[in-house]
Amino acid sequence: MSTNASLETIVVANRQASSTTWMWWKEIRQLLPLAVLLLVVACLIIVLNAIVSSLLGSRRFALPDEMLMLVFPGLFATGAGPLLVGQERASRTLDWLALLPISSKRLITTKLLVGLSGLGVMWIAAAVMITFFSGTRGWHFGGPNLYSGSLFSYPVWIAHSVFVLVAGFFVSWKIRSQFYSLVALVPIAFAPLVCTSVLAAIQGRRFLADEVDSWALVFTAIGLAIVFPWMIRAAMRTLSPTAAPRSFTLLDQPRRRHSSSVMATAPRFSTQLAPLIWQSLNASVGTW
């Protein structure tokens, strides 16, 4: 009975829902664990802050709530691409998805839009939490001061998180290994901030000195303008037929035909510990 009910529910849902709805449902469902995890951790930190503040009567040892504005949406932006693209590539579900009558463009757009919507939700959630726990105290356009005296500059961080999200999609489409794609994301993500700080050092001013550091915004916008078309190109290439390896020269032929023996290539160990260490090291390299 439950079997029939389950399929009937799907049949009814299918009559009403378009393929776009189903695709959004699938992508959101894949992204949900990350979003929920980050929101739960953010809530826990805020509650912990509130408890510590009330106990000590001071916010001196508490993590500033505004930090969440930077950290959690930023973490979401970092993880969205690897989750929606990298994981699908690793588990080969992307190949199965590519067999369905969906254009590559639609697939890429849906994934990116779901990622951007998720990021929007994360920013809204962060803003709501800060307002709830801190009131409107200290709110202003650029954000409050950090311990260093620099500004949080909300517009810069929001723009930067969008850039990180797109960069995350780019590295996930470009690089099959999830680990390598995350490694590649780090320098790309920090590039606009590094450029801003270098420029600030040249100009002899403090990094993010103004409420809205226009140079940080400019560098982030430039980064976005560069990474976005790269992301589209990498995605289209991934979803297109894999190109055949380039042709080989005649010099390669003997090597390709030659079959090496196990005796010649097998590693040899003199102790029982050595193969365990060798295996651990090589497994790590293989994963990377």
Partner 1 sequence: MEPVIVTDSLTMNFRRCDALRGVSLEIRPGTVFALLGENGAGKTTLIRILTGFQKPSSGTCSVGGIDPTLRPGEVRRQIGYVSDSPALYDWMTVAQIGGFTASFYGPDFLSHYDEAIRRYEIQPEQKIRHLSKGQRAKVALSLALSHDPPLLIMDEPTSGLDPKVRRSFLESMIDRAATGRTVFLSSHQINEVERVADTIAILHQGRIRLHGSLTEIRESIHELVVDVDDPLRAVPAPPEPAELLMEENSGRSKQYFIRGLEGDMIESYRDMPGVTSVRTRVATLEEIFVACTSDAPALV
User: What residue ranges bind partner 1 (CB under 8 A)?
Assistant: 2-3, 6-7, 9-11, 13-14, 17-19, 21-22, 25-26, 29-30, 91-93, 95-96, 98-104, 240-245, 247-248, 256
The minimum distance between CB 260 and partner 1, in angstroms, equals: 11
Given a contact cutoff of 8 angstroms between Cβ atoms, the answer to whether 153 and 211 are in contact is yes
Closest-CA residue to 70 (of 197, 140, 147, 156): 156
The minimum distance between CB 101 and partner 1, in angstroms, equals: 5
The minimum distance between CB 240 and partner 1, in angstroms, equals: 7
The minimum distance between CB 100 and partner 1, in angstroms, equals: 5
Closer residue to partner 1 (CB): 7 or 186: 7
End-to-end distance of the chain based on CA atoms, in angstroms? 48
Closer residue to partner 1 (CB): 17 or 283: 17
The minimum distance between CB 36 and partner 1, in angstroms, equals: 14
Closer residue to partner 1 (CB): 148 or 260: 260
Given a contact cutoff of 8 angstroms between Cβ atoms, the answer to whether 167 and 188 are in contact is yes
Distances (CA, A) of 25 to 21, 22, 114: 6, 5, 9
Closer residue to partner 1 (CB): 172 or 196: 172
Closest-CA residue to 228 (of 108, 107, 72, 79): 108
Given a contact cutoff of 8 angstroms between Cβ atoms, the answer to whether 208 and 151 are in contact is yes
Bridge partner list, 145: 151
Closer residue to partner 1 (CB): 60 or 92: 92
DSSP 8-state code for residue 82: I
